[in-house]
Amino acid sequence: DAGVIQSPRHEVTEMGQEVTLRCKPISGHNSLFWYRQTMMRGLELLIYFNNNVPIDDSGMPEDRFSAKMPNASFSTLKIQPSEPRDSAVYFCASSSPGGRAVFDEQFFGPGTRLTVL
Amino acid sequence: AQKVTQAQTEISVVEKEDVTLDCVYETRDTTYYLFWYKQPPSGELVFLIRRNSFDEQNEISGRYSWNFQKSTSSFNFTITASQVVDSAVYFCALSEASQGAQKLVFGQGTRLTINP
């Protein structure tokens, strides 16, 4: 079974450019999460979706960041305009809440390493 | 507010030694969930275990074991007879039912190095 798929795996861009990160969750999972990992701040939840609907975007750093989930099998995280401080590894994760448990564990993608020059 | 503290930033041991990674959490909820994830040098995050606040039973899975103690708000992870392949960064995480249970807060991680 394919896990969470993220693209690109590496992205190098210049300050001011638009960056789009992509994620395909595990088939059948209905929750999707975007995280950012930096040395200074560790792993932070940016936003998550249930059934394609954004539930909590309180972790999105500022208006330059936006995320969409147009369907159950695809999500994007966009940064416009990008800045050097956005350099980080961005992870997408998915899970399948339901049943007796309120939620299930989150399965992470391989991450996208973003470098903004 | 929820918080996870992993006081050990780095640990280095020799292969076959036992090692314990500490995790202390803070929460006001009575219903919450605790996790451990492993991040090997390749970078991906691998789920290891989930525990809910009503289940204080310790768990053993092969060389891995977890000790959950609500009295001390700790959820420690022990690797027995460590191997070089155990070298990774290990993260403890917490989610609260009142926050929708899906919002994971991670500790800063413990970098574990197993030397041959």
Q: Worst-scoring range by mean pLDDT, A12-16, A102-106, B87-91?
A: A102-106
B110 to chain A: closest CA residue? A42
Q: Do the chains contact at B104 and A45, CB–CB below 8 Å?
A: yes
The verdict on B35 touching A (C-beta cutoff 8 Å) is yes
More confident residue, A99 or A49: A49
Cα–chain-centroid distance for residue B64? 11
The verdict on B61 touching A (C-beta cutoff 8 Å) is no
The verdict on B62 touching A (C-beta cutoff 8 Å) is no
Residues of A in Cβ contact (< 8 Å) with B42: 110
Mean of pLDDT values over A40-46 = 93
Token pair in block for residue A65: 């960041």
Give me chain B's average pLDDT, please.
93
Among the partner-chain residues B33, B44, B101, the one whose CB lies closest to the CB of A108 is B44
Between strands B10-14 and B110-115, the pairing is parallel
* pLDDT (0 to 100) of residue A99: 47
Residues of B in Cβ contact (< 8 Å) with A113: 43
* pLDDT (0 to 100) of residue A2: 81
B34 Cα to chain A: minimum distance (Å): 10
A55-68 residues labelled b (16+ CB within 10 A) or e (exposed): ebeebbeeeebebe
- Compute and round to an integer the Cα radius of gyration of chain A: 14
Q: Do the chains contact at A105 and B44, CB–CB below 8 Å?
A: no
Q: Choosing among A6, A92, A106, which should be mutated to test the B contact, i.e. which has the most B CBs within 10 A?
A: A106
Could you tell me if A35 and A46 are in contact, meaning their C-beta atoms sit under 8 angstroms apart?
yes
Confidence of residue A97 (pLDDT cuts 50, 70, 90): low
Say yes or no to pLDDT of B11 above 80: yes
Q: Give which of B106, B103, B46 is closest to A47, Cα–Cα.
A: B103
Confidence of residue A96 (pLDDT cuts 50, 70, 90): confident
